[in-house]
Amino acid sequence: MYFPGLEGVVIKETKICHIDLENSKIYYRGYDLEELALNSSFEEVAYLLWFGRLPSSRELEEFKNRLRSVRKPPRHVEEIVASAPPSAEPIDVLRTGVSALALGEDLSARDIEAELRRGERITAAMPYIVAAFHRLRTGQRPVDPAEAASHAEYYLWAVRGERPTPREVRALDVMLVIYAEHSMNNSAFTAVSVASTLADMYAAVTAAIASLKGPLHGGANVDAAKMLEEVGSVQRVQSWVDEQLAKGRRIPGFGHRLYKKGPDPRLRVLRLLARDLAAERGDFRWVELAEKLEEYVTSKLSQKGIYPNTDLYAAVIFRYLGLPVDLNLPTFAVSRVAGWVAHVVEYRQSNRLIRPTERYTGPLGLRYVPIDQRG
Ligand code: CMC
């Protein structure tokens, strides 16, 4: 049997995330994602994904304290981040920083507890790594805002160097909850695949970040942001899209392996969030542009099963939050790490080495020709 792109292949049983395509719903551990997005926080959702249930207020406080205690990475990681050329892509610096977190730690323990502690360390340190690199490349000193009350607040504050407003923090928190997990996507599969060799959590998450980078996956949220800039105005949408399609190009922020019969359910929350932020800023340009793109591209491509995906509106929301375009992608990673850790831990509980096979279509029986006799 041959499944190009592993489409439709079930590689594990899971209790982490369920996507109900028929009813356009997503569940984390049985909870409706839209309800979580409205009421919950990134830390609460990470706890839910990792430990399988919502925390009590004491458990949540303890969890947040553990994260707080390891937000600032060890000195050698700071030095590696500081030594990256300013022209480096932030996602590459993040991948390198996460990989470097493993250095110096005794990695012999491979039990679930040890991997969860590593998951906490990685998750906690990612905002600082991204923010520190961004500040250094723009000639500013990194900050470690210890007073930040949440992961979302810490991240925005560390990037900007000043305290964000509660509404901005809430908006980012919603994005972090929405982006945190999405079943067996390419980066989750990569993490699980690496972890199935019994490699540690640092190795699994480093590989997952590498997977997320690609423009067919997380990189689409950077391309979508560049597209918004390039299109520039709603009047240009039609001609821009037609031109791209005539050149055989894909429109970033559209299409999904799973959502072929309608848009991604997460868009219900994201469209509203984008509108709210636009109203707050009195600047509807970006949200209206995304809405027009959604309308026009859907009218052209829905018969092929192409609808907008989260990255289109994520690009709008991050713009309203003032994040530089190339931080869109590491911000996705700052959130999705929650899902990667959950999948690694779940898979480790009944681990089987992932080792697919392939069908050979090349020649056989060729005779070796010495190099001086080759044409
Ligand atoms: N714009 C124009 N045409 C498209 C697009 C698009 N964004 N996506 C797919 N198509 C076409 C594709 O060219 C193909 O056409 P044809 O049948 O004529 O050859 C048809 O739709 C089916 O495409 P596919 O490649 O078989 O679909 P897939 O399920 O393998 O691809 C995808 C899914 C996400 C890779 C693809 O839709 C894509 O490249 N989208 C643009 C990048 C993007 O937004 N990625 C983010 C994905 S969602 C979030 C995440 O995972 O991070």
**375 has pLDDT over 90:** no
Q: What is the DSSP letter of 325?
A: G
Domain region containing 28 = 13-213+325-348
Q: How confident is the model over 305-339, as pLDDT tens digits?
A: 999 999 999 999 999 999 999 999 999 999 999 99
**Same-domain pairing of 193 and 314:** no
Region 247-263: what's the mean pLDDT?
A: 95
Give nearest CA residue, ligand 1 atom 50: 217
Please indicate whether residue 311 is annotated as part of the active site: yes
**Same-domain pairing of 257 and 135:** no
Question: What residues contact 333, with CB distance under 8 A and at least 6 apart?
Answer: 91, 94, 126, 209, 212, 218
**Same-domain pairing of 179 and 37:** yes
Q: How confident is the model over 54-104, as pLDDT tens digits?
A: 999 999 999 999 999 999 999 999 999 999 999 999 999 999 999 999 999
Residue 354 resides in a domain: no
SS3 of 264, please?
A: coil
| Residue that is last in its domain, among 320, 338, 361 | 320
Identified catalytic residue from 134, 151, 217, 256 = 256
> Which atom of ligand 1 lies nearest, measured to the CA of 260?
29
Q: Ligand 1 in contact with 119 (CB < 6 A)?
A: no
20 within 8 A of 27, measured Cβ to Cβ: yes
Q: How confident is the model over 186-219, as pLDDT tens digits?
A: 999 999 999 999 999 999 999 999 999 999 999 9
Q: Which two tokens stand for residue 272?
A: 């509203």
Nearest to 113 by CA among 56, 50, 53: 50
pTM: 0.96
Question: What residues contact 61, with CB distance under 8 A and at least 6 apart?
Answer: none
**276 has pLDDT over 90:** yes
**21 has pLDDT over 90:** yes
**180 has pLDDT over 90:** yes
**Same-domain pairing of 287 and 145:** no
Region 141-146: what's the mean pLDDT?
A: 96
Does the model's ipTM exceed the 0.90 cut?
Answer: yes
Residue 226 resides in a domain: yes
SS3 of 172, please?
A: helix
